[in-house]
């Protein structure tokens, strides 16, 4: 009985080491699949790295095209553009530092044949306008053979016109808004409202007129007279700058320095502009094909330009006064 069952038992028993072989084979299969996946990943990783590098290269190439074009344009006779855009102010828009950098860069070019001030501004700070004007005049004195032309876009009013008057010629479109040769100061008087609400104003100052422009206090006659005298002085400075720049081209019109503004067509008749046109017509008149923009540009400047462009559409901002500031052109 035992002899007959023994061979049967030997056949049923697994071969020694067969489980280990299967485990080894399974592990080997896993390793082979892992290595194959790694090789595939490396191949695709190389493909993706190549595609990303190609994309970056194409992007950089396209980004550099304008720069290359500008560099090439500077090698030919050209007009240098300086943008006077947005509110003229130290803390935004256009200020003297931006214009100074632009003019210095433009005048360094040996192929510069003209400077074009492209103006689209409702006005702003009298101080910045004066300093920008002085900077333009300084370069004109150094390089008198280079004509300076101001081209007014949608609006060239108040402090912006103060700057334009420093150019050799002023060009505008028929529908441009030009002028607003005046000075303003803004404030509010809330004394009646405070009285109606039963609010008492308590203001302590050292100096009789230190709180002169306080909106919660009544304006006294001495303060009103002083402010008006100061505005008259600033207005006289504005008028002098315009007369110096425009000379006999100005019409004999009593409204010229009243703070009014006009269309480009009417401004031409008043002698505030020399002709109607745009950049293209001026380049043609100068016999130039190219204009190079030398104005420094960054993100914050773009934002401030957008704000200034929005303000130019507001009638009350045409003379450049800013509420809360001492005075504005």
Among residues 295, 302, 301, which one has the least CA distance to residue 80?
Answer: 295
Stronger pLDDT, 80 or 319, i.e. the higher one = 80
Cβ-Cβ contacts under 8 Å for 136 (sequence gap 6 or more): 99, 103, 117, 148, 163, 166, 167
SS (H, E, C) 248-314: HHCCCCCCCCCCCEEEHHHHHHHCCCCEECCHHHHHHHCCCCCEEECCCCCHHHHHHHHHHHHHCCC
Among residues 172, 94, 184, 93, which one has the least CA distance to residue 135?
Answer: 94
- Kindly report, residue by residue over 141-195, the tens digit of the pLDDT: 999 999 999 999 999 999 999 999 999 999 999 999 999 999 988 877 788 887 7
Q: Are 157 and 121 in contact (CB under 8 A)?
A: yes
| Residue 311 dihedral angles phi and psi, to the nearest 5° | -65, -30
For the record, the structure tokens of 317 come out as 């901002």
Confidence (pLDDT) at 1: 45
pTM for the predicted model, two decimal places: 0.70
Confidence of residue 10 (pLDDT cuts 50, 70, 90): very low
pLDDT at 232 over 80: yes
Confidence (pLDDT) at 73: 58
- Kindly report, residue by residue over 56-109, the tens digit of the pLDDT: 766 555 544 444 445 555 678 999 999 999 999 987 779 999 999 999 999 999
Confidence (pLDDT) at 266: 97
pLDDT at 309 over 60: no
Q: What angle, 0 to 180 degrees and rounded to 10, lies between the N-to-C axes of helices 126-142 and 221-246?
A: 20
Confidence (pLDDT) at 223: 85
- Classify 18 in phi/psi space as left (phi over 0), alpha (psi -120 to 50) or beta: alpha
Strands (E), 162-225: 169-172, 177-179
Confidence (pLDDT) at 322: 31
The lowest-confidence range among 21-30, 41-50, 183-192, 306-315 is 306-315
């Amino acid at each position: 009985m035992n002899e007959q069952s023994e061979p049967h038992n030997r056949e049923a028993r697994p071969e020694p080491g067969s489980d280990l072989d299967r485990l080894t084979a399974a592990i080997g299969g896993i390793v082979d699949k892992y290595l194959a996946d790694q090789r595939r990943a490396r191949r695709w990783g190389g493909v993706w790295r190549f595609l990303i590098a190609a994309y970056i290269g194409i992007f950089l190439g396209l980004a550099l095209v304008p720069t290359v074009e500008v560099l090439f344009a500077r090698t030919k006779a050209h007009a240098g553009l300086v943008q006077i855009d947005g509110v003229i102010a130290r803390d935004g828009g256009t200020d003297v530092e931006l214009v100074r950098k632009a003019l210095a860069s433009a005048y360094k070019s040996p192929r510069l044949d003209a400077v074009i001030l492209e103006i689209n501004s409702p006005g702003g700070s009298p101080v910045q306008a004066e300093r920008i004007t002085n900077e333009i005049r300084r370069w004109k004195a150094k390089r008198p053979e280079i004509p300076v032309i101001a081209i007014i876009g949608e609006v060239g009013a108040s402090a912006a016109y103060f700057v334009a008057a420093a150019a050799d010629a002023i060009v505008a479109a028929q529908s441009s808004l030009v002028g607003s040769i005046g000075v303003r100061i803004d404030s509010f008087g809330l004394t009646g409202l405070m009285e109606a609400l039963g609010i008492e104003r308590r203001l302590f100052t050292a100096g009789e007129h230190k709180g002169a422009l306080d909106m919660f206090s009544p304006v006294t006659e001495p303060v009103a007279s002083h402010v008006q005298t100061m505005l008259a002085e600033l207005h006289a400075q504005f008028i002098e700058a315009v007369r110096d720049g425009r000379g006999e081209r100005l019409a004999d019109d009593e409204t010229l320095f009243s703070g009014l503004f006009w269309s480009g067509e009417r401004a031409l008749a008043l002698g505030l502009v020399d002709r109607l046109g745009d950049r293209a017509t001026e380049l043609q008149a100068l016999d130039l094909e190219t204009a190079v923009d030398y104005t420094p540009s960054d993100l914050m400047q773009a934002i401030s330009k957008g704000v200034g462009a929005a303000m130019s559409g507001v009638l009350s901002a045409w003379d450049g006064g800013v509420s809360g500031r001492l005075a504005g052109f």
